[in-house]
Structure 1
Amino acid sequence: MKLKHRLSIYYVAIFSIVIFIVSVVIYFLFYNQMVKKEFQSLESKSLLAALYYLEEDEVTNSEHNSIKIQLQRKISKKNILVIDSLNKRFNGNMTSDSNITEKFIEDIRRDKSVQLLTDDYFYNGIFYLDNQGDFVVITRESKDELDEQMKSLLNILIVVSVLGTLFIYVFSNYLSNIAYEPIIKIIQQIKERDAKNFNKPLKLEKSYEEIEDLVKNYNHFIDRITQTFTIQKNFIDYVSHELRTPITALLGTLEVTNTKKRTSEEYEDVIIQLKQYTNDLQETLDQMMLLSGVKTNFEFKQIRIDEVIWQVIENAILYHQAHINVDIKVENNHLLSIHGNEKLLELAFNNIVGNAIKYSDNKPIQIQFLEINNRLQIHISDQGIGIIEEDLKQIKQNFYRGKNAINYQGKGIGLSMANVIFTLHDIDLEISSNKPKGTIVKIIC
């Protein structure tokens, strides 16, 4: 069953329960009110009957005639009974009634006023003291009129309930169609997607906030998947490129070695060369596994991070003739000792320093060791092309390159790999533009 039909059924069920409860409450409240009103009316009729039958000798003829007219308008004499102290009929035309028992009469004498409701009549009895003696005046009224009113009310409530239920069903279906329309459009758009246009974002012209959030999150999710596919493609390209070089060197060395017999010394040189190629291949695999997130377990020990950076600086000066200024402003030497992997950190700092050298065209680089809030911060600043503001949020992603780096060679893995390494060491990496030009990289240990 579709959700919109299920919601309509839920609405109808809830409305039916509510209107049933309301109808029952209305019915019984109306019934009780009408019964109360009928007894009040009957009580006044009993008093009027007492005045008519028992006070004739104490009022004037005109007053008695007025009482008679009122009594005739309100109640028939066949519904009046006056009983004396001996329980004998004193007046009234009410015929024998099984509901008027001696107990009922005694209750009236005791309580002064008693009401009785049966299937057919309302009864009211009052105890009346007169100069002629003590009397019980009983009046009754048929329930037929009340039963007819209650029957009419019941029919009205049933009709209103049925019509209300039908209206709620139709209206809920209408609202469900309106509410469900954006979802149907989303489903239709998704069905139209295939391998060629799966990354096309969903579009809805008119919708409500929840659906807009759904579309926004779906488009964000598809965008992330598209980025993941792009990264995977780039990663495969990177793997192919990086593995091809050492494998080609291995195969070439083996082929050349196999062309003729060689001396033991030559074989030893070849073995050393092959070992170097194998180590390069292993290092490349480790970097790729680190970049892809497959390898996250490395041997950690207590090391000096400043010694790692000095090694990086030495290599940069040796291989790139880099100009690097170092400024150490750390009083607490314990901050320079961290628990980590020396090779991984050297690789990360090599990437950052290498980027600073490359993108600044070998201009001077500033490395500062600072102690801020009892934490070690290493700031690496260059005077290069810098990073565009809109690229800063994505610059740490795999294979992402800044828009202004098109004239420089690179694969877009240096910062992402460094970020992965620092994350493994619980080290924060922050990158910002170094006004007026260049980039500043902050490593917070």
Structure 2
Amino acid sequence: MSGNTHDVMVIGAGFAGMAAALFAARAGLSVAQSGVTGGIDFSTGFIDLMGVHPVAEGIRWDDPWAAVEAVSKDCPKHPYARMIRPDMEAAIGGFTDFLASQGLDYTGHADRNCRALTPVGTVKRTWRVPRTAWKGVLALESAAPTLIVDFHGLKGFSGNQLVEMRKETWPGLRTARVTFPRGSGELYPEHMAWALADPKYREKLAEAVAPHLGDAEYLGFPAVLGLIDPGRVVDHLEELTGRQVFEIPTIPPSIAGPRLRGAFDRGLPGLGVRTLSQATVTEAETVEDGFRFVVGRGGGRTEVRAKAAILATGRFFGKGLIADRHAIREAVFDLPVVQPKTREQWHNKEFFHTDGHAANASGLEVDDRFRPLGRDGRPAHKRLFAAGAILAHQDWMRMKCGAGLAITSAWRAVQGLMQGVD
């Protein structure tokens, strides 16, 4: 095993882990990061800030800042209640600026959520969308004549379903299914994206779509328009077709996730971050000057020493929380987890119950500096911080605040770290 000492170890490689590594590196800290495929890889690419509250009533908000204020008032233990708007704006701005530097531009309205199409034809309120999806927001708002392009052999996307779901409010929406210019049989979004990096396949795609354009002002595709530089692909297709082009995420796993992952894989090492990709922390202990971690197993084990740590391991999907027949446990430090008193209270009997499931609000209690609390109600360690889905008192999936919560809490965790030790 090889060893190294860093200012901070970021444990997790989802939205919160990537954001924490980014913000810490930009603050001048030496950073190591470990983690495996997480929520970011299954993302739609949208950055939700706050969309639904109260979840039991299904109230949807166009003004996410008003929603954040309402949540902070109604749910004073929600992580958003420990933040202020300028910090949240700075966090999301810093995150999207970094993505833009890696070829993934984001945009949105100045003062309200976007209304964006999902792959099943529903409409989602979200704060920021990739530039490649923006024209779809505009088309939806204006109900302009729009053609949705579908492909023979592509699963996880149905133009017919999109049209069926929206036909009452969007009579000018229609669809056409065409043959993808490269490959036949079952298609995979990543292979399609790599193919469309070649201009000649974009030209063939435009030729296949041309007979179906009619009066369409906008042209929507499943999110397969390039992997590394999708903006350039969209611009070229607009030039070839004479229409406003946009993407709609496919059912996860969508290409939007690998695009985000690729941006961080390319950009974080350039900021000095030592990335230990696709490897989990298998040992963790406190030492005199901070923490000692072992990352990986067998002959590939690596020892990392760090003065501080940010826990951004997510919940059950990211394996930050582990459930057995008796309790929910935190996986790295065995920190106390806020959870229902009995296992019978974890879930409602109805899967789609309007109140959700209590287990989905389980997680770590933190102080105002986002340090997890121990069993005595005090910080478990003065240099241990937490961010993202592992935080308690929030149901990010139903509240539509996942990426926003991850990014803003990562910012606060790094701020807390920069305050030093008290």
TM-score, structure 2 normalization: 0.20
Larger helix proportion of the pair: 1
TM-score, structure 1 normalization: 0.19
Larger Rg over CA atoms: 1
